[in-house]
A and B are shown apart, each in its own frame.
Chain A
Amino acid sequence: MAHGASLNTAFPDAQSKNINLDRDAQVYKDLDLFFGKKNTSKDISKVNGIQAIKRSVRNLILTNIYEKPFHPEIGSGIRGLLFEPLSPITAFVLSQKVEDVIENFEPRARLVGVRANPDLDRNAYEISVEFYVQNAPTELVDTTVLLERLR
Chain B
Amino acid sequence: MAANPRRLNVTELDFDDIKDNLKIFLKGQTEFTDYDFEGSGMNILLDTLAYNTHYLAFNANMLANEMFLDSSSLRSSVVSHAKTLGYVPQSARAATATVEVALNTTNATATMDAGTVFNTTIEGDAYTFINPIEKTAANIGNSIVFSNLVLYEGTFVTSRYTVNTQDVEQRFLINDNRVDTRTLTVKVQNSVSDSTTTTYTLATDIAQITGTSHVYFLQEVEVGKFEVYFGDGVLGSALSDDNIVILQYVVSNKEDGNGASVFTSAGAIDTVSSVIVTTIDSSSGGSEAESIESI
Kindly state the separation between the CA atoms of A107 and B44 in the bound complex, as whole angstroms: 17
Type the 1/0 row for B213-247, where 1 means its CB is closer than 8 Å to any CB of A: 00000000000000000000000000000000000
Number of residues on chain B facing chain A (CB within 8 A):
18
Q: Which of B26-34, B60-68, B202-210 contacts A (4 or more CB under 8 A)?
A: B26-34
Contact yes or no, A60 B39, CB < 8 A:
yes
CA distance A15 to B32 in the complex (A): 19
Query: Given A1-B44, A30-B42, are A56 and B37 also a contact pair (CB < 8 Å)?
Result: yes
Q: A29-B34, A30-B34 are in contact. Are A47 and B41 (CB under 8 A)?
A: yes
CB B83 to nearest CB in A, in angstroms, measures 37
CB–CB B39/A28 < 8 A? no
In contact, A28 and B34 (Cβ under 8 angstroms): yes
Residue among A59, A106, A108 making CB contact with B41, cutoff 8 Å: A59
B219 to chain A, nearest CB (A): 39
Asked if B51 and A32 sit within 8 Å, CB to CB, the answer is: no
Residues of chain A within 8 A of B47, CB atoms compared = 68-69
A34, closest chain B residue (CB)? B41
Q: How far is the CA of A58 from the CA of B38 in the complex (A)?
A: 12
Q: Is the CB of A63 within 8 A of B42?
A: no
Known: A29-B34, A31-B32. A106 touches B15 (CB 8 A): no
Once the chains bind, are A30 and B32 in contact (CB under 8 Å)?
yes
B33-77 vs A, Cβ < 8 Å mask (1 yes, 0 no)? 110011111101101001100000000000000000000000000
Q: Is the CB of B41 within 8 A of A55?
A: yes
Does B16 reach chain A (CB closer than 8 Å)? yes
A7 touches B (CB below 8 Å): no
Instruction: Indicate whether A52 sits within 8 Å of B15 (C-beta atoms), given known contacts A28-B34, A31-B45.
Output: no
A26, A52, A70, A71: the one contacting B40 at CB < 8 Å is A52
Check A52–B44 contact: CB distance below 8 A: no
Would you call B39 and A63 a contact (CB within 8 A)? yes
The listed residue (B32, B50, B51) touching A29 by CB distance below 8 A is: B32
A105 close to chain B: CB less than 8 A: yes
Q: Which residues of A approach B to under 8 Å, CB–CB?
A: 1, 26-33, 46-47, 52, 55-60, 63, 68-71, 74, 105-108
17 contacts between A and B (CB under 8 A): A29-B31, A29-B33, A30-B41, A30-B42, A33-B41, A55-B39, A55-B41, A56-B37, A59-B41, A59-B44, A63-B39, A69-B15, A69-B50, A106-B37, A106-B38, A107-B37, A108-B37
